[in-house]
Structure 1
Amino acid sequence: MEGTEQLTPRAPVQVEPQSTRILIVDDHASNLLALEAILEPMGQRLVKASSGREALRCLLREDFALILMDVQMPGMDGFETARIIRQRERTRYTPIIFLTAHGRDESNLVHGYASGAADYVVKPFHPDVLRWKAEAFVALHLRQRALQLQEAALWERERRVLERQGEQRFRRVLDSMPQFVWALLADGTISYANRGWLDYAGLSPEQGRQREENLRCFHPEDVGRVQLTWNALQRSGRPKEQEYRLRRATDGEFRWFLCRTLPERDEVGRLVGWISTATDIDDARRAVESLRATSEAKDMFLTMAAHELRTPLQAARSYADLARMKAAAETPPQVDRALAGIHRSVNRMARLVENLLDMGRLQRGELRLDESDVDMGVLLRDVVEHFQPLPEGRSLEVSVPEDLVLRADGERLDQVFSNLVSNALRYSPDGGVIRLVARAEPGWIHTEVADHGLGIPADQLESIFERFSRAHGVAYGGLGLGLAIARGIVERHGGRLWAESAGRAGEGSVFHVLLPRSLS
């Protein structure tokens, strides 16, 4: 470094008792030693670099409060090094003092400031002047850092206050909920129980955090399931729900609750705890049980009534047949028509009775299938024959490839397609063609029954397969069991039955029956 002048020393700038780093860059070792000697009294850590590239490597490893850099260096000079430093986000605002022996040439000054210099020191310079400048920049850096730390501390304090307020507000919300809520640690330790549960169970907040005190509130028959559920949760780490009976402290009554447990995970997916809730379902459960009992009683009554009606209906049909046979020649036309009407009515009643009995068998899982090889073409043509002769303006068409055979109960499938054709005729008051089309699909036989009748509203395409359901009310007769029985029989075969319809009169409906080629 070139010779320096002597100035009257002055007291150094007072900075906070903190240390930081200063980077000094010069290609001459003697200059680096001189700069080190000048800056050492500041008490900061000095890092030396002998080239622009070495300086950039130092900046990649750590941050600096100040950079003192010689302008004239071989290879990458100070201006180019400064431009690269300013391009990096992390060092964009690090102050740079250029050291130059070219005097105060205006073009060099402009070039230096354009490259990112914060100050310029021209050689020869007084050591104290350089140190004062460095102390000023370091002091500014330390004060900025102190302000940043203070700001961060204020933000952290505000965050903690907001978290406490949020937690208090969250607890108040939880305490006002009708559901019971528990927060558990990952190992199952109860860290919180809301006021709803404490009041219901008659527990203090301390008791509400004790596992044994909580278990005493479960029905004795459910305690074992509680432990099994907890073991399953620990193994899977997945949400789970279960129904338990919990004792109410005021009267000792056990009520049914739906308990849900959800895992809590941190930002990297590690299990940190559990949240459990319990919702009172006792009234709903009792209502469902009452409805179930009523439904079972109704089904039992219908089954018994059907069985009781079966014998007299068979007798009535036999007597009507016998009367027509015995008096066939002498019977007046009006009497013959009356006997024929009795015969049709008895047959209709018999079909209704059989439908009731079949529905009961399906619900109890007692419907038996007698499997055999069934030719779909023969089956569908027999179904069509049942409905002959048809009134004028109506017709049934069958389209089935030859040798389309499946393993199934032929009589039950006859019942399915007879029900579908009967429905198609009933809901086609303006007549038209009803088509039965079957085709082979890999492993399946797909049959469609299509009409051009009233159609089915979109919101009823699924409900029509429920018991006693009728898309168009009672105006078209029937008990509303045919489709429910048909679907039950198809599903018993391992197949599917569904309907498609635009819901507009004249565009009709299509019923699809998908059956496996062989029973599993």
Structure 2
Amino acid sequence: MKSYIEKWNTNANKVNILLVDDRPENLLALESVLSSPEYNLISVNSGEAALKHVLIDNIAVILLDVQMPGIDGFETARMIKSREKSKQIPIIFITAISQALEHVTEGYHSGAIDYIFKPFHPETLRMKIDAFIKIHRYQEQIMFQNEVLRVTGETLADTLVTFDETGKVITTNPAIDNMFGYMVEEIINEHINLIVPDLTKYFGDLIHIGTIIETTALRKNSSVFPADIQIGEASIGGQLVYVCSIRDVTERKLIEEERFRKIFEATPCLVSLRSLKDWHFINVNKSWLTYSGFNHYEEILNQSADPLTYISYEDIGETVVEMADLTHPVYNSRIKYLNKTGELREGLLSTELMELHGENCLLSVITDITERVLVEKEMARLDRLNIVGEMASGIVHEVRNPMTTIRGFLQMSKDFPSSEFIDIMIEELDRAHNIITEFLSVSKNNNTKREWKNLNGVIETLFPLIQAKAMYTDHHVDLDLAVCPSIQIHEREIRQLILNLSLNGLEAMSSSGTLTIKTYHQDDQVVLAIQDQGCGIKDEVIDKIGTPFFSTKKNGTGLGLSICHKVVSEHNGKIKIDSSDKGTTFLVYFPCEDNQLLGEDSHHMLNL
């Protein structure tokens, strides 16, 4: 006998309809009415032939004539209904004889579910057949699904268990024998905790419904093995039922442990595994022995005392840390550790709580960074020396120029004394003095307390000085000062910042150029924008702007913009340069707070 799966695959496209009538013209009429790509019409002219097809084919519905020679329709229906395989097939009687009540009653007693009297209405017949076919398809689908579930349950390696709200086992599949050693009948009506201890604590917990839970399971012989379980809920007849799949993951755990062992041994980090029960060492790797100054595993394993002294120097200064105090995992915590030989080394400590063979453990990993820290310190020292060398070279170069001029005029003064020579030498000495002063401004830290000031007021105070410089060089200055909140600043430093940027802008323009000084409030920042109409700054040198002794001006030192960058940095701000062939804009962003009062002047627009 074919299984439901085979039947489903064979007849998925068409369904069989059996037509039984001893008159060919009646069969022809039925075939014309019911002809469809979805139906396979089987026409026979006797009850005997109908019985043969019922045994061979999967029939969806039977249209059966009542009055036939030999075995009539009533007897044929009774024989079909008496067989287990065919008793569910719906039978519709088609007859042209009397519609008397006793005749119809006999038909229903024979197993018919409907009566159609000749002459029949074609559309009515087609609609009835379509309805029965739909019912047949639903039944076939249910049978197919049940068969799939049965085969899956019998062949699945995982154990499937259903149990009620009290934990009493309702059903299980044959896999329980191989996995747990119980026969199916032994486990029915037992509590689920018999095979998965403490499983009932997950009942009704939406967090665990449908998720995979790693736990341990218990065999009949009391041996324990690691298992992955998954719980689902179902409601059958108003009763809540839990469906649980149990998978033995012993082999997977062994593979994971072997992989962990290889990583444990091969990593250059110091790795140790300790029991949380009494803090004895379960295992350490080779790197741990090497860095800690020990030679043999026997010196460490099963020892509860920690041979290393751990010193944490983050946050609250240096403190001694006991590994037993790390009840919560840490990640890359900066520590120093003192090894057996008394050497103080540096590292990054990470810990993780884990369970190994039923025992709670602490896995600690120390990444030794002693050599890296030494290299970083040496690189920082070399960088400082390099910077000092570069700045010293720049200072020598800049100061040498005025000294050379002074020396030349002093030699000339021996033969041709002149007050003009003295003025030039004084000017050159002042120039050398300014270079040294700017250099000191770049290098020194300013500890002056900041005050709440409005940037617009600082700009207005400096405006006459900037205006005078602009008029002397045949330039114009526009102010566009919007309403801005007060910010915390060192006023003297901000004045120097504004003057340096403004004078640079004036020097970058040819005659009749306009310098625009603008302020506005944007995204919790006060923005100072100083825009010139010069030829712009080339892209390849923008990143170098602000470096000491780098300047695009013929006689510039680059210290002015270095001072600007330092001032902005001390105010937790940032500088952005926007440049094109139409001019350059220096944008300075100062952080501010929304609750500060706005400046007294709401808006200024001066065109000079």
Question: TM-score normalized by structure 1?
Answer: 0.51
Equivalence for 1:244: 336
Per-residue CA deviation, residues 83-140 of structure 1 (Å, 9 max, x unaligned), is xxxxxxxxxxxxxxxxxxx74498743269948689xxxxxxxxxxxxxxxxxxxxxx
Q: Using the alignment, how far apart are the partners of 1:355 and 1:255 within structure 2? A: 44
User: Could you say if the C-alpha distance between residues 377 and 403 of structure 1 is closer, same or farther in structure 2, counting changes exceeding 3 Å?
Assistant: farther
User: Could you say if the C-alpha distance between residues 110 and 489 of structure 1 is closer, same or farther in structure 2, counting changes exceeding 3 Å?
Assistant: same
User: Could you say if the C-alpha distance between residues 360 and 198 of structure 1 is closer, same or farther in structure 2, counting changes exceeding 3 Å?
Assistant: same
For 1:282, the aligned partner's letter is T
Structure 2 residue 179 is matched with structure 1 residue 179: no
Equivalence for 2:548: 468
In 1, are the aligned partners of 2:479 and 2:517 still within 8 Å (CA)?
yes
Q: Using the alignment, how far apart are the partners of 1:430 and 1:281 within structure 2? A: 60
Equivalence for 2:345: 256
Equivalence for 2:285: 194
- Which of 364, 380, 397 aligns to 2:478? It is 397
Per-residue CA deviation, residues 235-263 of structure 1 (Å, 9 max, x unaligned), is x655351131443x7xx472533222143
- Which of 451, 463, 466 aligns to 1:381? It is 463
| 3-state secondary structure, aligned to 1:412 | helix
| 3-state secondary structure, aligned to 2:254 | helix
Equivalence for 2:438: 355
In the TM superposition, residue 224 of structure 1 has moved relative to its aligned partner by 7.5
Q: Using the alignment, how far apart are the partners of 2:511 and 2:334 within structure 1? A: 54
| 3-state secondary structure, aligned to 1:263 | strand
In the TM superposition, residue 265 of structure 1 has moved relative to its aligned partner by 6.9
| 3-state secondary structure, aligned to 1:486 | helix
In 2, are the aligned partners of 1:258 and 1:278 still within 8 Å (CA)?
yes
| 3-state secondary structure, aligned to 2:88 | helix
User: Could you say if the C-alpha distance between residues 180 and 331 of structure 1 is closer, same or farther in structure 2, counting changes exceeding 3 Å?
Assistant: same
- Identity over the aligned pairs, expressed in percent? 11
In 1, are the aligned partners of 2:529 and 2:586 still within 8 Å (CA)?
yes
Equivalence for 1:485: 563
Q: Using the alignment, how far apart are the partners of 1:427 and 1:230 within structure 2? A: 67
In 1, are the aligned partners of 2:275 and 2:282 still within 8 Å (CA)?
yes
In the TM superposition, residue 166 of structure 1 has moved relative to its aligned partner by 3.1
Q: Using the alignment, how far apart are the partners of 1:359 and 1:230 within structure 2? A: 50
In the TM superposition, residue 172 of structure 1 has moved relative to its aligned partner by 1.8
Equivalence for 1:288: 376
The root-mean-square deviation of aligned C-alpha atoms, in Å, is 5.9
Equivalence for 2:307: 215
- Which of 255, 267, 271 aligns to 1:165? It is 255
In 1, are the aligned partners of 2:310 and 2:335 still within 8 Å (CA)?
no
| 3-state secondary structure, aligned to 2:260 | helix
Q: Using the alignment, how far apart are the partners of 2:390 and 2:563 within structure 1? A: 15
For 2:442, the aligned partner's letter is M
In the TM superposition, residue 489 of structure 1 has moved relative to its aligned partner by 3.0
User: Could you say if the C-alpha distance between residues 399 and 205 of structure 1 is closer, same or farther in structure 2, counting changes exceeding 3 Å?
Assistant: same
Equivalence for 2:531: 450
Equivalence for 1:497: 574
In 1, are the aligned partners of 2:501 and 2:586 still within 8 Å (CA)?
no
- Which of 448, 466, 483 aligns to 1:368? It is 448
In 2, are the aligned partners of 1:468 and 1:480 still within 8 Å (CA)?
yes
Alignment of 1:78-227 (within 5 A): 103-104=82-83, 108-110=87-89, 114=139, 145-147=173-175, 149-150=177-178, 159-184=249-274, 190-200=281-291, 201-209=293-301, 214-216=306-308, 225-227=319-321
Q: Using the alignment, how far apart are the partners of 1:459 and 1:147 within structure 2? A: 75
User: Could you say if the C-alpha distance between residues 206 and 224 of structure 1 is closer, same or farther in structure 2, counting changes exceeding 3 Å?
Assistant: farther
In the TM superposition, residue 449 of structure 1 has moved relative to its aligned partner by 1.8
Equivalence for 1:512: 588
| 3-state secondary structure, aligned to 1:109 | coil
For 1:510, the aligned partner's letter is F
In the TM superposition, residue 216 of structure 1 has moved relative to its aligned partner by 3.6
| 3-state secondary structure, aligned to 2:89 | helix
For 1:259, the aligned partner's letter is L
User: Could you say if the C-alpha distance between residues 204 and 343 of structure 1 is closer, same or farther in structure 2, counting changes exceeding 3 Å?
Assistant: same
Per-residue CA deviation, residues 420-455 of structure 1 (Å, 9 max, x unaligned), is 234545667999544211235799743212345544
For 1:378, the aligned partner's letter is E
Q: Which has the higher strand share?
A: 2
Question: TM-score normalized by structure 2?
Answer: 0.45
For 1:258, the aligned partner's letter is G
In the TM superposition, residue 147 of structure 1 has moved relative to its aligned partner by 4.6
- How many residue pairs get aligned? The number is 361
In 1, are the aligned partners of 2:517 and 2:528 still within 8 Å (CA)?
yes
User: Could you say if the C-alpha distance between residues 414 and 307 of structure 1 is closer, same or farther in structure 2, counting changes exceeding 3 Å?
Assistant: same
In 1, are the aligned partners of 2:467 and 2:476 still within 8 Å (CA)?
no
Q: Using the alignment, how far apart are the partners of 2:423 and 2:265 within structure 1? A: 75
Per-residue CA deviation, residues 29-53 of structure 1 (Å, 9 max, x unaligned), is xxxxxxxxxxxxxxxxxxxxxxxxx
5+ residue gaps in structure 1? 1-101, 119-143, 324-329
In 1, are the aligned partners of 2:311 and 2:335 still within 8 Å (CA)?
no
For 1:110, the aligned partner's letter is I
User: Could you say if the C-alpha distance between residues 357 and 155 of structure 1 is closer, same or farther in structure 2, counting changes exceeding 3 Å?
Assistant: closer
In 1, are the aligned partners of 2:347 and 2:370 still within 8 Å (CA)?
no
User: Could you say if the C-alpha distance between residues 380 and 214 of structure 1 is closer, same or farther in structure 2, counting changes exceeding 3 Å?
Assistant: same
In the TM superposition, residue 404 of structure 1 has moved relative to its aligned partner by 8.9
Q: Using the alignment, how far apart are the partners of 2:461 and 2:575 within structure 1? A: 20
In 2, are the aligned partners of 1:419 and 1:483 still within 8 Å (CA)?
yes
User: Could you say if the C-alpha distance between residues 104 and 260 of structure 1 is closer, same or farther in structure 2, counting changes exceeding 3 Å?
Assistant: same
Q: Using the alignment, how far apart are the partners of 1:445 and 1:181 within structure 2? A: 52
Q: Using the alignment, how far apart are the partners of 1:304 and 1:331 within structure 2? A: 35
Q: Using the alignment, how far apart are the partners of 2:85 and 2:459 within structure 1? A: 106
5+ residue gaps in structure 2? 1-80, 91-134, 145-171, 182-224, 228-246, 411-415, 598-608
User: Could you say if the C-alpha distance between residues 464 and 179 of structure 1 is closer, same or farther in structure 2, counting changes exceeding 3 Å?
Assistant: farther
In 1, are the aligned partners of 2:269 and 2:368 still within 8 Å (CA)?
yes
Per-residue CA deviation, residues 393-440 of structure 1 (Å, 9 max, x unaligned), is x65433236999777543322211123234545667999544211235
For 1:180, the aligned partner's letter is L
Equivalence for 1:279: 367
Equivalence for 1:64: none
Equivalence for 2:154: none
In 1, are the aligned partners of 2:330 and 2:352 still within 8 Å (CA)?
yes
Per-residue CA deviation, residues 484-508 of structure 1 (Å, 9 max, x unaligned), is 433443454x45232143x655563
